[in-house]
Amino acid sequence: MATLIPSIPTTQLIGTDAIPGDSGYQGLRIIRAQSDPLTAKNYTDRAFRFQHETDYTVVRATLTRKGMVDSQSAHTRISVHTHPTLKQFRDMVQYDPSNPPPDNYDALGMKEAHDQTQSDFKGQKQLNKDLFKNYLLESIMGSRTAYLPSISGWQTKSSLARTVFVAFDEEDPDALYGLLYLPKSPIMQADGQTQTAALFALAAHKEAVDKGALEKFRVTLEIELNVDERKAGQSFADRNGRGSKKNKNLVIGLDSSSAMSQLRDISIEGTVFEKRLARGRNTPTTVTATGMIVDLSTMEQMLMGVVSDLSDKPETLKHHHIPYFQPYTKEFVKLLDDVFAKYWLEKTPLNQDPFRKLYVHGWPFALKAIAAAYHATRITELAPLARALRAQSAGKGLEEAFIDQLHEEQQKPPSQPVITFEELKDRLEKIDWLRYRKHWIKLTGAKQGKDGKLKTFKLKSTGEEKVEGQAQNTHTVIGNVRDKILSDKWEDLTSTEDQKIS
């Protein structure tokens, strides 16, 4: 039997590096087969080296530019929309978030995303994968129709130089149709992790394979190109949104472009909070987990306590507001650093209790109350700013409307603080913040055991038994603590009398 010899090109192939990067598409190599006859002929004659290489997945796709597409746009995204078969999807994506391949994600520029995925893909999410797989299997077996959302993924910017798009239809300069030659490098998910894991499980399921699902079952995949981990994090944050409670701190942590994110980073720089804000499920802020002081969501609410006495949500803050509020948010965070940092030990010493077991100021409700009290001390300056925060006007930009409203508010008779900033700091330093003091139990209430008696704990340092106070993060408790700190009865909080056990 004759040996089959593969065809060998008789002319020198055109290297991928010889295909110029398209400046309108962030340097992506585009072969414009519709508008460039010579390039089209070279492609038809298989004269390009990439056409002979096996390290590509080739799929029909639409290449798009998203966002503001103009010469001044620094934030335009490029992505491709594809409708691959299950087999193509598996070959393109490669990255099963529930069981990823052993690639060097640090070298690929995907380490942070990979580590977060692995910490995130546990518990109920892992169980949901099997439920999703069964749903997909039912559609393959004909008992239901599969209504699947588009999966959003991204490929690292290091792959862009090897990616080639062959455009057959260029009528719309912002949406080119053609063939995508995508390097076989993992595609991480910005949205759709559970569905992706379920599709990988489906591709390995015998019934699905026997039914021909690898070639017949199709999904929709959007792939962001030229993405680094910072952009990937922002993409995740924007897609999941602030309304997503289950991922709130994760979303906030990945959101690097919002005004609140930038104000937070400016405010905590150089303080005890700088590297001790919990950013997700793997960094808890429980009684015994003392590495992190508060989570990102709590810090945002603390800063909004400074900005508007907790009257507005973090999303209200815009970039043009930052210069006006940052002197106050920085002063507030430094106040906390000066007064409390020495108590917030990252590692609890032997035979001592962790700081949240001992101190009221280790809990979100107290920190939010202090933020609101700080707002009251700077009410003269902050009240006009807060009232102008939501300013809008027909025919004006948001910044112009804010400035005009601020000028108008500043002409009104100024609000006067109940106490000064210096008085607040003095009070915070003199208050006894131990949770088992009688005055705190009166304000916050005590935990109650199953026997109906007050719940107690023993101090590791002395063995003494103390009543365990509650730490309810409610508007009522926050308001009560704020009002007490600001009132002329604040010295009640300096007492050293413990709550009696009986």
> Two tokens at 462?
């002395």
Q: What is the DSSP letter of 319?
A: G
C-alpha pair distances (Å), 204 with each of 70, 257, 435, 477:
45, 39, 55, 53
Which residues face 166 on adjacent strands?
Answer: 31, 179
pLDDT tens, residue order, the chain (502 aa): 455 555 565 678 999 999 999 988 999 999 999 999 999 999 999 999 999 998 898 989 999 998 887 765 567 888 999 999 999 999 888 888 787 766 655 555 555 555 655 555 566 666 678 778 888 888 898 877 888 888 888 888 888 899 999 999 999 999 999 999 998 888 877 777 888 888 998 999 888 899 999 999 999 999 888 887 677 666 666 666 544 444 566 566 656 667 888 999 999 999 999 999 988 666 788 899 999 999 988 999 999 999 999 888 888 888 889 999 999 999 999 999 999 999 999 999 999 999 999 999 999 999 999 999 999 999 999 999 999 988 877 677 778 889 999 999 999 999 999 999 999 999 999 999 999 999 999 999 999 888 888 999 999 999 999 999 999 999 999 999 999 999 999 999 999 999 998 7
Residue at token pair 């930052």: 322
Give DSSP secondary structure letters for 176-217: EEEEEEEES---EEEE-HHHHHHHHHHHT-HHHHHTTHHHH-
- pTM, entire model: 0.63
Q: How far apart are CA 133 and CA 386, in angstroms?
A: 49
Q: How far apart are CA 321 and CA 330, in angstroms?
A: 14
Residue 60: how many other CB atoms lie within 10 Å? 15
Q: What is the DSSP letter of 82?
A: E
Per-residue burial over 148-170, b = 16 or more CB atoms within 10 Å of its CB, e = otherwise: beebbbbbbbebbebbbbbbeeb
Q: How far apart are CA 196 and CA 207, in angstroms?
A: 18
Amino acid at 287: V
> Torsion-angle region of residue 26: left (phi > 0), alpha (psi -120 to 50) or beta?
left
Q: How far apart are CA 1 and CA 140, in angstroms?
A: 42
Q: How far apart are CA 68 and CA 399, in angstroms?
A: 20
Alpha helices by DSSP H, 321-420: 322-340, 355-358, 364-377, 379-388, 398-410
Instruction: Give just the sign of the alpha carbon dihedral 273, 278, 279, 282.
Output: positive
Q: Are 249 and 233 in contact (CB under 8 A)?
A: no
Pairing of strands 28-32, 164-169: parallel
Q: Are 200 and 96 in contact (CB under 8 A)?
A: yes
Q: How far apart are CA 2 and CA 495, in angstroms?
A: 99
Q: How far apart are CA 430 and CA 351, in angstroms?
A: 26
> Torsion-angle region of residue 120: left (phi > 0), alpha (psi -120 to 50) or beta?
alpha
